[in-house]
Structure 1
Amino acid sequence: MKHHSLAVIPGDGIGPEIMNEAMKVLQLIEEMHGGFKFDIQSFNWNCEYYLKHGKMMPDNGMEILKDFDVILFGAVGEPRVPDHISVWELILPIRKTFEQYVNMRPIKLLKGLESPLRHKSHDDLDFVVIRENTEGEYSNMGGRLHQNTPYEIAVQNNVFTRYGTERIVKYAYEYASCHNVKRLTAATKSNAMNHSMTFWDDIVKEISQQYNTIETNLYHIDALAAYFVSNPEKFDVVVASNLFGDILTDLGAAIVGGLGLAPSGNINPEQKYPSMFEPIHGSAPDIAGKGIANPIAQIWSVGMMMDHLGYSELNHLILESIENVLVDGKVRTPDLGGTATTSDMGDAILERLRTLLESEREQVHNGSQ
């Protein structure tokens, strides 16, 4: 039996609530699949930890995490701790230190749901955004001078390296090629950002020459955001810089039903370091503790994690289970127009997944006779 080491960081707000439902799913597939086992260790590194210790994680936190195979993350953020502290001292160090340079975010209208965009079908809303995850606009270079004076200055530098840009663009093209899609769109703003984004454009054009069967389009970010709403069927794979990808994927989540439905993977493709999987939504302190948060994004993130570990069939079964519950329509959290609790939704998905796993096991058994 294969063992996978898993670090779990539930985080703040609704994080522990939705993580609880994800762990139920993980336990079920571990029990019923039979081919692997997770060695799980949970870490309560969050804003409460910061308020007690003055830091979001221990000084040796990265050393603790580096030998895990994967990390499952919930959410981070709490009103008593400024967001730039909680994010820059927990999520971003993990992404950068472990070279999780690919942020993978599917934009998919799930069966059983309708998009806020009129007349857009499930086929129209099914693409993926690949976001550069370690440099660009989130490079933490700059500073503030003469604070609280009339002469105060704030400088934030964007950093784009050839190495970093080439590897994310190549990854996007390889993903498109492996998934037999014919269109790749790159987000840019080279008409205004005449150094960093013209550099980005040049590298996209250079690499596109190696993939002649894939249609390449460069769209300015403002137009691209509009096309997400008016013509989402134009997209198969979208590759974007750190900030542009962050904004586009929140918009993408909105057009398929909301942030509660949006998973993501922070991936180190070479598997030199652990990859991390998390919903893209925040900690939602306004509903924390009420038991009404939608756990779908967290559960789907487990599916993406399983795919990363080589169990793509389990990713498909988890997604199918989610869609079965949504199609049935009886169990829905308030964000989806229902009255179900977080655990109601989690349990409904769990039971559908159990049925699918039993059916698959029976087919395997019958096929071996």
Structure 2
Amino acid sequence: MAKSYRIAAIPGDGIGVEVIAAGLEVLEALTALDGGFQLDVTHFDWGSDRFRRTGSLMPADGADTLRAFDAILFGAVGAPDIPDHLTLWGLRLAICQPLDQYANVRPTRILPGIRSPLAGVRPGDLDWVIVRENTEGEYAGQGGRSHRGLPHEAATEVAIFTRAGVTRIMRFAFEMARSRPRKKLTVVTKSNAQRFGLVLWDEIAAEVAREFPDVSWDKMLVDAMTVRMTLNPASLDTIVATNLHADILSDLAAALAGSIGIAPTANLNPTGAAPSMFEPIHGSAFDIAGKGIANPIATFWTAAMMLEHLGEKAAAARMIRAMEYVTADPTLHTPDLGGNASTKQVTDAFIAALAEVEA
């Protein structure tokens, strides 16, 4: 009897609706070809439209509702008429933090048929995994505002770095590095200026490194890291950084690999105590929403990461092979990659490729 996984689908806003629909269409085709598992998908209308109707992006018990699922497939959140901090904290972070999805994993590589904007860079020169601490740090939600509207109005944003939180993400990153062929980790910091939280970050990195003698590691200040990513990408492999720093660096990484439209993300609860959430990183992109030109590749790659997490490794590998087959064809590039293909054309080609690639 085929295994069945309960999937919560939250398309959210903008192109999130379009790419999640494409992702689910591809997954349905995959399960029909595979036969070894099924996906029981429940749709949730959480997002900015719900906020306009009810004043909240999701129900107060939304995170608890999601605990019943095996995984979450998330599109995007954000709308031009609603402040970004309301949408982010009202939905994405309102899921990640209660479900303790503390490890954000963002693979980046140059896919077949896609050119990096970096001159002379070959595909193998840029093959990274960025591990982002995902529940504390600069996005812990600590701080406040006082004396509003007065000349001496003050706002504080407090970054929280706990020994437990830093240790677990550092250990996760070293384990990720160990699982990759080069067994190399770069720890990103800013401890020259942030002399408390990120000095602790540095100290814990050195402590955890002793548990992984087979992993080579080095340390970079975040500003110098942007230079290294751009000028010497082949020197990097696995990267770990704080919530804010990795958020920024992963967007740079996606651009260097050709487009943010191909970049996937996994928000993992490595303990399995709560479901993990999988999302493309491109955001809601309201400037192209409804035009049928959003690149669904990031969602397909994200869906492959979800299948891998669920233990369906063969199906995940099939998704990756189909993705590489499709991106290799320049006639299937969407506008973000310099082409003219539509979301539907890429999706249809991907489904056809699933039937062609070796299972």
Alignment TM-score, normalising by the size of structure 1: 0.95
Aligned CA-pair RMSD: 0.9
| Contact map agreement 1:21 1:347 (CA 8 A) in 2 | no
In the other structure, the counterpart of 2:133 is 132
Q: Secondary structure at the match of 2:8?
A: strand
In the other structure, the counterpart of 2:22 is 21
Q: Which deviates more from structure 2 when the two are superposed, residues 61-70 or residues 173-182?
A: 173-182
Q: Which deviates more from structure 2 when the two are superposed, residues 102-111 or residues 210-219?
A: 210-219
For the residues of structure 2 that align with 1:30 and 1:182, how far apart are their CA atoms?
A: 34
In the other structure, the counterpart of 2:189 is 188
List alignment gaps of at least 5 residues for structure 1: 361-369
Q: Which deviates more from structure 2 when the two are superposed, residues 231-240 or residues 314-323?
A: 314-323
Post-superposition Cα deviations, 1:143-166, rounded to whole Å, max 9, x if no partner, equal 011111101001000000000000
In the other structure, the counterpart of 1:229 is 230
In the other structure, the counterpart of 2:287 is 286
Q: Secondary structure at the match of 2:328?
A: helix
Displacement of 1:179 = 2.6
1:113-132 to structure 2, matched below 5 A, reads 113-132=114-133
Displacement of 1:323 = 1.5
Displacement of 1:178 = 2.4
Post-superposition Cα deviations, 1:204-232, rounded to whole Å, max 9, x if no partner, equal 00111111121111100000111110011
How many residue pairs end up in the alignment? 358
Post-superposition Cα deviations, 1:118-144, rounded to whole Å, max 9, x if no partner, equal 011111010100000000000110001
For the residues of structure 2 that align with 1:299 and 1:245, how far apart are their CA atoms?
A: 22
Task: Quote the sequence identity (%).
Answer: 44
Displacement of 1:328 = 2.2
In the other structure, the counterpart of 1:71 is 72
Displacement of 1:12 = 0.5
For the residues of structure 2 that align with 1:254 and 1:43, how far apart are their CA atoms?
A: 31
In the other structure, the counterpart of 2:105 is 104
For the residues of structure 1 that align with 2:182 and 2:158, how far apart are their CA atoms?
A: 35
Q: Which deviates more from structure 2 when the two are superposed, residues 173-182 or residues 135-144?
A: 173-182
Post-superposition Cα deviations, 1:16-58, rounded to whole Å, max 9, x if no partner, equal 1111110111101111111111111000101010000000101
Displacement of 1:78 = 0.6
Displacement of 1:312 = 1.9
Displacement of 1:350 = 1.3
Task: Give the aligned residue type for 1:246.
Answer: D
List alignment gaps of at least 5 residues for structure 2: none
| Contact map agreement 2:331 2:340 (CA 8 A) in 1 | no
1:166-245 to structure 2, matched below 5 A, reads 166-245=167-246
Task: Give the aligned residue type for 1:197.
Answer: L
Is 1:345 the counterpart of 2:323 in the alignment?
no
For the residues of structure 1 that align with 2:141 and 2:32, how far apart are their CA atoms?
A: 43
| Contact map agreement 1:14 1:285 (CA 8 A) in 2 | yes
In the other structure, the counterpart of 1:52 is 53
In the other structure, the counterpart of 1:323 is 324
For the residues of structure 1 that align with 2:196 and 2:163, how far apart are their CA atoms?
A: 13
Q: Secondary structure at the match of 1:56?
A: coil
Displacement of 1:349 = 1.2
In the other structure, the counterpart of 1:92 is 93
Q: Which deviates more from structure 2 when the two are superposed, residues 56-65 or residues 190-199?
A: 56-65
For the residues of structure 2 that align with 1:220 and 1:181, how far apart are their CA atoms?
A: 22
In the other structure, the counterpart of 1:366 is none
Q: Secondary structure at the match of 2:129?
A: strand
| Contact map agreement 2:105 2:265 (CA 8 A) in 1 | yes
Task: Give the aligned residue type for 2:134.
Answer: N
Task: Give the aligned residue type for 2:318.
Answer: L
In the other structure, the counterpart of 1:263 is 264
For the residues of structure 1 that align with 2:41 and 2:202, how far apart are their CA atoms?
A: 42
In the other structure, the counterpart of 1:2 is 3
Q: Secondary structure at the match of 1:283?
A: coil
In the other structure, the counterpart of 1:275 is 276
In the other structure, the counterpart of 2:164 is 163
For the residues of structure 2 that align with 1:38 and 1:315, how far apart are their CA atoms?
A: 14
In the other structure, the counterpart of 1:333 is 334
For the residues of structure 1 that align with 2:328 and 2:80, how far apart are their CA atoms?
A: 36
For the residues of structure 2 that align with 1:255 and 1:207, how far apart are their CA atoms?
A: 30
| Contact map agreement 2:12 2:75 (CA 8 A) in 1 | yes
| Contact map agreement 1:333 1:342 (CA 8 A) in 2 | yes
Q: Secondary structure at the match of 2:258?
A: coil
Post-superposition Cα deviations, 1:155-200, rounded to whole Å, max 9, x if no partner, equal 0000000000000000111111123432110000111101011100
For the residues of structure 2 that align with 1:178 and 1:331, how far apart are their CA atoms?
A: 32
In the other structure, the counterpart of 1:314 is 315
For the residues of structure 1 that align with 2:113 and 2:36, how far apart are their CA atoms?
A: 32
Displacement of 1:335 = 1.1
For the residues of structure 1 that align with 2:145 and 2:249, how far apart are their CA atoms?
A: 28
For the residues of structure 1 that align with 2:254 and 2:166, how far apart are their CA atoms?
A: 25
Q: Secondary structure at the match of 2:349?
A: helix
Displacement of 1:114 = 0.9
Is 1:248 the counterpart of 2:227 in the alignment?
no
| Contact map agreement 2:178 2:184 (CA 8 A) in 1 | no
For the residues of structure 1 that align with 2:72 and 2:327, how far apart are their CA atoms?
A: 27
Task: Give the aligned residue type for 1:222.
Answer: D
In the other structure, the counterpart of 1:363 is none
